[in-house]
Structure 1
Amino acid sequence: MASLSKVDAGELVVRQVIVAVVALLVVSVAPTLATADTTDGPLTVRVVRPDQGGAGVGGILVVATDPSGASASGTTAPDGTVTIPTAALSGGRYRVDASIPPTLTGVHPVARSAGFAALTEFVDVSGGRAVTLTMAVGGGTGDVELGDRVWFDTDGDGVQDGDEPPLPGVRVQLLPCDGGGNPLAEKTTDAAGHYVFGSADGVQPNTCYTLRFDYSGVDTAGLPGSPAVAGLRWTTPLASVTPDIDSNVDPSTGTARVAVGVPGSVDDGVDAGLIGGLDEVGDLVWADENRNGVQDPGEPGVAGVPVSLQDSDGALVVATTTGPHGQYAFSHLPDGTYKVCFDVAKLPAQYADYRLTRLRAGPPGQDSAADPAGGCTGPVELNAGHTEDRTLDAGLAPPVNRIAARVWSDLNGNGVQDPGEPGLAGVPVKLRGDDGGQLALTTTGPDGGYAFENVANGSYQVCLDLGNLPPAIADFTPTRSGGDSAANPATGCTRTVTIGLGKREDTTLNAGLGAPANSLGDRVWFDSNRNGLQDEVEPGIAGVPVKLVRADGADAGATTTGADGAYSFTGIPDGAYRVCFDPKTFPPAYAGGQWSKPHVGDAGKDSDVDLSTSCTQDVTVGVGHRQESTVDAGVVAARNRVGDRIWYDLNANGAPDPGEPGAAGVAVTLKDADGRVVAATRAGADGRYLLDDLPDGTFRVCLDLATLSPEFAAFRVPGAADGCLPPLAVGPKPREDLSVKVGLVAAPAVAPAAQESGSGGGGGFPVGWVLLTAGIVLAGVVFTVRWWKVVDQ
């Protein structure tokens, strides 16, 4: 350790004033062992100016501090006198400090002279003894002086307490600044432990000196425990913010470096404390900021921590608080077993929520010896072979800072986590500092929760990575902020929160995500030219009821077309829907109208309504497809027409099952009784066909089997060797039959011409095919539904 330098006189005064002001603000508070004493005699202090005929000096703050650290104070009256009330203190012996406030310009400490006490003095008023101290101040001119006191630091805290004895007989040498060469002067401490060097000893203003202290010749018989001189050593230096009451000696050299100020400067705060004798324990309380349980460079000591010493029975022996650098010591202990306890419930405000770090994580003296569970060290036995233990450190670790919350599906968009609204898994979440830089990245768990653990003290915001959401919610955006949701809809980032002392966890940065609104709809129009496309001159049809149906058949909404024939369903949940219309409800001008041929071309302009069901095919809205605006319905004037679907009936059950393909491209004709072709078309990709604009009469629907797909070339119309269905009537009532389904079956499924069913009556259907007939009502007209099925022989 380098030699310790003493502050100059100006700095000394400032430090004295700071401490004095603090003393004024603190009502006398005694630590654990202090008890009030009502037997003290009066303590009076008078401050005068000898250079002005002994006139009193008012406004000087005087503080009396008892051995426990509690204090009482007062300010001198205009006559320079003040009486300090000591009844509430622990009593007996006091350290008395007088401080000159900055407001008293031109008033400074003066060189010590006979009959005057120093501005820091020690008194004993126990047993009713009255003490009056007269202290001198001056104008700050004339001789310079440095010196003060050597004492025995009984409790080892580096601070001069009122009951700690002076140490006479210590040699003090005045040396040049570098500490080398012959002494310039030498003194020996007196009965009060004082020494002083002044102008008569060659001390010059504006000059640096080194003081060397030598205690080898002192008599220790009167000290507590009568320690051997060989066991003495210098106490902890600079242990107080008040320079006049701590020790300035470098323990490694026994020296202190001092800078003398301008003419008239007086430095009476170059003190030296010694410890030793009997047994001793102690060391350091420090802030273990990285929680590793080891004292790392840069981790500060913690001042003001209550520390108590207990004996083997758990009884309190003595208590203290850590010094300004976190140090503490209990000395002059008799042999025995002890443990040291740290009161973490009464930590200084800056460390109020810190707790003891992990136990014994490193080498003794560099780790923490206090058990976090009870706050005490293990038992330490002190005896002749083990007189001290300086490894009883205690590390205080800050709590783990944490930011944790939830991202959820805000189904109703109200910004509140309502029952039934699930968490969203896999959402990337970024942690940003107050400068906007990214510090960490995580993703939400199955319940939508996320957490950033062990973050440093500071200000943070959380941002959702909206560009990398899971596929199922890829286009979700934050719902309105407020309530439970803290994410800004425009940025995906939350407000900034501060984590640290007083708030170690924040769980408010939740974020609700909602899907963009789904919408479905378009237009119902009159297809005047029957081409299946919306032409510019073709009007919309107003007042048509429209129903939205889910894929499972449940109703999902209803509306009516507007003046331009337009309709829409908005805000619907993700899913598959179909749109259904009721031709019976067409306005009068379009009564009896029929659906236009569907899917003839441009998806945004053609009709999507199935001719037989009056419903569209299922349309899915959701992620990647939020708006469907091509679900149109074309209406044409009523004419005769026939149609439905042709498919390959692979299982010959007479019903179109999933997986059974439509007979795409099959040529379909309508023939009269003489076999003349009245109309012709081809089946679409799904096997649907429509024979339109037909004359009234009786006709047969015929399939050109030569146009079947090659893989189905052997399929035939059940019960019809010529590929034609039985005759059916068209117009004027009914005008259309859109239920003529044809299920093609594999050959040789041909029915005998004359065999009848086994029913009891005559006139039954041929056994080789079954004709099912049912009456249905469509658009107010009764139609016949027919289909054919091969019956196994």
Structure 2
Amino acid sequence: MARHVLAALVCAVALLGLSAPLLVATADDTDGPLTVRIVRGETGVAGVLVVATDPSGASVSGVTGPDGSVQLATSPLTGGKYRVDAVIPASMPDVKPAPEEASRASLTEFVDVSGGKAVTLTMGVGGLDGPVQLGDRVWFDTDGDGIQDGDEPPLPGVRVQLLACDGGGAPIAEKTTDRAGRYLFGEADGLRPDSCYTVKFDFGGVDTRPLPGSPPADGLKWTVPHAGDQSLDSDVDPGTGAVRVAIGPSGSVDHSVDAGVVGGLNRVGDLVWADLNRNGVQDPGEPGIADVGVRLQKADGTLVAGTSTGPHGQYQFSHLPDGAYQVCFDTAKLPPQYGDYQLTRPRAGNAGQDSAPDPATGCTAPTELNPGRTQDLALDAGLAAPVNRISALVWHDTDGDGRPSVVEPGIGGVPVKLRGEDGKQIAMTTTGPDGKYVFDDLPSGSFVVCLDLAALPQAGADFTPVTRSEASGADPATGCTPPVTLGLGKREDTALNVGLAAPGNRIGDRVWVDTNRNGIADATESGPSGVPVKLVRPDGTTESTTATGADGQYRFTGMPDGTYQVCVDRAALPAPVTGYQFTRPRAGESTKDSDVDLASGCAPPVAVGAGHRDGGAVGVGLVPPRNRVGNLLWIDGNGNGMQDPDEPGVAGVVVTMVDAAGRPVAVTRTAADGSYLLDDVPDGSYRVCVDLAGLPGQFRGFRLTGADGDAGCTAPVTVGPQPREDLSVRIGLVSASPAVATAAQESSSGGGFPVGWVLFGAVAAIGAVVGVRWWKAAGEDL
């Protein structure tokens, strides 16, 4: 990797002619200066980038001048021992590494400038032709990371064999690494251009006493291969100790076939990887993570060593004394793209394929190393992204202000859909009883939350989102929130709350003067202003009051869901309609007639709420005062003189008002609900009579409730001038048959079924057949 980075920098540095440190470490004034000269033959080569790297990884660099030389000031660095790399820029396609010889080093070398020693290093480059050469270095990989560091010692005495491409047969040539750990094969050793070879290494005869820890030779192993840049890492297969190489055409020089050895029987390590699916197991395609801090400590917590993972997430601590060790991972300082990742769940699979550290401590359990157990390479660590989630609230915004409050309940049972950036549905859920919903374990990306407004629960079936605010984010038309992006830096969003509000309930119409007394609001009939109108709850209390405006219009809005009555108090009518009466109700088209009861001044109850926000037209017709009598004709099934809930009115029956001589004064027919009104009656005392002989066939033989019921007339009723009306004349019909019983009386048949109920069923059926609008029929009679 280092060589690739250097190659990318060389052109810019050469063009600018600058020499700048790549990374500055702690100064060490005891290190001497380092001069590097790049030559082709005896001629210096300008424009080549040279980098010196200390054991900590800090570097200084410079570009060779016209004479091919550059001096690197090592004082900003530390360590004394450095790896020096020269990179031929891409602008010199005809320049290649030259064969190494006594006076010419390769383009990767190791120097020691500790103690103030000044070192001059000459590196050679060549052309596109000439002899071929193969070789480089065997070193002791002290930190086990697979990369040659400046202070890691060479390994002399390693036998290196040049074999045929397939690795078989007798060696073509054999070398032993020198004091610098170097070996070289050239044309004199049988190396030929455009050929394939196997290079095999054998460290069985090396002297390990000078090595750190003086590990026994039988405890040496090959380090991890291909851990970084080709010229700096180890190429040897740890299982065979060999590597296959290809030699190019004449002039090809390959000084990159290195071999790293780790010492000692005891070592721990392995891999830090990104557990993308958070299952705790290393799956194909899940990458290693570089630059993760790893420390080795004893079981009592004493620090032993520290390192960072390599480019593929690998790490290793080697040549360790016998003892118990723990490996701890620094998750507080991860690479930026993994900044908030956390240790995945431990021991989810086979050792070496799962994650070993405890997420709470960041450390593995102690592992014991001894002659019977020299290594533990199953101390892997998986890092997983925190769970992305969306959680929020859908609530009934009763005041419509877009802010939830403690008195506003959540709405359960609301379908909630999660969509991706492309609009496709990813998931669906339903709000709980408290109105909350959650989408959990989401991938990183952008999301939109949408409420299914067409499938809201029945109690809020026609609710819509309130206007967007900081606390409520859905579009009232679509039910969808703005997009939210989850991922690194934002793993959870709790702001996609949605307030739902009911459309406003409304009840209203107009109060008008029915000048022609037909019970219909005609186009020429206007309404008075200033008429008080009340909206009354079922318990009789007042919900709201208003007064009619221009042309008698009134309206109640915003009342809670429920049942209400519209009422007008005749005693409070303003001039010029003071003393006016209510016109006959339900005389025709429901949107144009009067709905209030003649006596009470209240319209029938209307319900408003989900699915029925408009209470409809509740009109109130007023007429100038005159004498009138009326109320209801009904089947008094139990003969108690009162209309019970199961006792219907009788439609289409002729009702006549007669004077003391029996002469008719007024006549009408009962309406569909059995109501009747005798209007414009002269002052006097009268009786209200029902034509019993003209009753529908089902009711032939019925009589009026009371002792004189067979005559078909009520007791005398007096009207005018005070009072003008009597709207309490209720007329009950009972069967003349002895079989008629009270509601509590049972038949003698033994079935226990009340005869009154039988009568009610018959009357209800007949009433449905013969029912007509009574005012219309009355008009035809008159």
Give the one of 49, 52, 58 matched to 1:63: 52
Deviates further, 218-227 or 596-605: 218-227
The superposition leaves residues 528-569 of structure 1 with CA deviations (integer Å, 9 ceiling, x where unpaired) of 443323444544555544443343444444444454544333
Q: Distance in 1 between matches of 2:707 and 2:337?
A: 94
Of 641, 656, 676, the residue aligned with 2:628 is 641
Q: Which moved more, 1:534-543 or 1:429-438?
A: 534-543
In the alignment, which residue of structure 2 is the partner of 1:236? Answer: 224
Is 2:381 the partner of 1:381?
A: no
Q: What are the within-5 Å matches in structure 2 for residues 428-439 of structure 1? A: 428-439=415-426
Aligned residues: CA RMSD: 3.6
Q: 2:726 is matched with which residue: 737, 750, 754?
A: 737
Shift of 1:13: 5.8
> Residue in 2 aligned with 1:41?
31
Corresponding residue for residue 781 of structure 1: none
Partner letter of residue 81 of structure 2?
R
Aligned pairs for 1:474-485 (under 5 A) are: 474-485=461-472
Q: What amino acid maps onto 2:626 in structure 1?
A: R
Correspondences of 1:234-633 after superposition (within 5 Å): 234-240=222-228, 242-260=229-247, 264-541=251-528, 544-583=531-570, 592-633=579-620
Distance in 1 between residues matched to 2:545 and 2:552, nearest whole Å: 15
CA drift at 1:384: 1.0
Is the 8 Å Cα contact of residues 58 and 75 (structure 1) preserved in structure 2? no
SS at match of 1:294: coil
Letter in 2 for 1:99: V
How much has 1:26 moved relative to structure 2? 5.8
Map of 1:166 onto structure 2: 154
- What secondary structure is seen at the aligned counterpart in 2 of 1:392? coil
The farther-off stretch of 13-22 and 558-567 is: 13-22
Q: In the alignment, does 2:654 pair up with 1:664?
A: no
Check whether the contact 2:22–2:61 (CA below 8 A) recurs between aligned residues.
no
1:154 corresponds to which residue? 142
Cα-to-partner distance string for 1:159-193 (whole Å, 9 max, x where unaligned): 11222221223333445555556655443322211
Sort the Cα spacing of 1:329 and 1:705 in 2 relative to 1 into closer, same or farther, 3 A.
farther
Q: Secondary structure at the match of 1:333?
A: coil
Shift of 1:18: 4.5
Tell me if 1:127 matches 2:115.
yes
Between 1:173-182 and 1:502-511, the stretch displaced more is 173-182
**Offset at residue 507 of structure 1 (A):** 1.1
SS of alignment partner, residue 738 of structure 1: strand
SS in 1 for 2:332: helix
Contact 2:44–2:69, Cα closer than 8 Å, also in 1: no
Aligned partner (choices 95, 114, 120) of residue 83 of structure 2: 95
- Is 1:189 the equivalent of 2:177? yes
Partners of 1:556 and 1:620 lie apart in 2 by 14
CA distance in 1, matches of 2:317, 2:561: 74
Question: What one-letter code is carried by the residue in structure 2 that aligns with 1:224?
Answer: P
Task: Provide the TM-score with structure 2 as the length reference.
Answer: 0.84
Q: 1:722: Cα distance to partner?
A: 5.2
Instruction: Report if aligned partners of 1:46, 1:76 keep a CA contact under 8 Å in 2.
Output: no
Identity of aligned residues (%): 57
Q: Does structure 1 retain, via aligned residues, the 8 Å contact 2:704–2:713?
A: no
Describe the SS at the equivalent of 1:127. Answer: helix
8 Å Cα contact 1:518/1:622 also seen in 2: yes
* Cα pair distance change 1:308/1:604, threshold 3 Å: same
- Three-state SS of the structure 2 residue aligned to 1:472 is helix
Work out the CA distance in 1 between the residues paired with 2:466 and 2:700.
Answer: 55
More displaced stretch, 105-114 vs 402-411: 105-114
**Relative to 1, partners in 2 of residues 1:332 and 1:530: Cα closer, same or farther, differing over 3 Å?**
same
Partner of 1:450, secondary structure, is strand
Q: Distance in 2 between matches of 1:108 and 1:487?
A: 66
**Which sections of structure 2, spanning at least 5 residues, go unmatched?**
14-18, 739-782
In 2, Cα distance between the equivalents of 1:344 and 1:25? 29
* C-alpha contact 2:52 2:82 (8 A) present in aligned 1: no
Deviation of 1:126 (Å): 2.9
Shift of 1:427: 0.5
Residues in 2 aligned to 1:421 and 1:355: alpha-carbon distance in whole angstroms: 38
Q: Work out the CA distance in 1 between the residues paired with 2:61 and 2:705.
A: 121
CA distance in 2, matches of 1:276, 1:62: 29
| Alpha-carbon shift at residue 239 of structure 1 (Å) | 1.0
- Cα deviation code 1:422-458 (max 9, x no counterpart): 2111100011111211111100111211001111122
Decide which moves more: 196-205 or 688-697: 196-205
How far residue 85 of structure 1 moved from its aligned partner, in angstroms, is 4.6
CA contact (8 A) 2:32 2:114 kept: no
Distance 2:365 2:561 in 1: 65
| Structure 2 Cα separation of the partners of residues 565 and 430 of structure 1 | 48
Is residue 704–residue 710 contact of structure 2 (8 Å, CA) maintained in 1? no
1:480 to partner: Cα distance: 1.7
Q: Which residue of 2 aligns with 1:50?
A: 40
State how far apart, in whole Å, the 2-side matches of 1:656 and 1:103 are: 111
* Native 8 Å contact 1:42 1:131 kept in 2: yes
Residues 715 and 700 from structure 1, CA distance in 2 versus in 1: closer, same or farther, beyond 3 angstroms?
A: closer
Which whole-Å CA distance do the structure 2 matches of 1:696 and 1:407 have between them? 66
Q: Distance in 1 between matches of 2:22 and 2:492?
A: 34
Amino acid at match of 1:737: D
Return the alpha-carbon distance in structure 2 between the equivalents of residues 497 and 205 of structure 1. 61
How many aligned positions are there?
727
Are 2:21 and 2:60, in contact at CA under 8 Å, matched by a contact in 1? no
**Cα distance in 1 between the residues matched to 2:699 and 2:175:** 126
Task: Report if the CA contact (8 A) 1:598-1:609 is conserved.
Answer: yes
Query: Which of 89, 93, 99 does residue 111 from structure 1 map onto?
Result: 99
Counterpart CA distance in 2 for 1:56 and 1:571 is 90
- Determine the C-alpha separation between the residues in 1 that align with 2:246 and 2:548: 98
What letter is aligned with 2:498?
A
**Alignment partner of 2:717 out of 706, 728, 748:** 728
SS of 1:467 mapped into structure 2 = helix
Q: 1:378-421 CA deviation, whole Å, 9 max, x = no partner?
A: 11111111111111122222211111111122233333334533
Distance 2:701 2:345 in 1: 81
- Return the alpha-carbon distance in structure 1 between the equivalents of residues 133 and 638 of structure 2: 121
Aligned partners of 1:513, 1:25: CA distance in 2, in Å? 63
Per-residue deviation, 1:712? 12
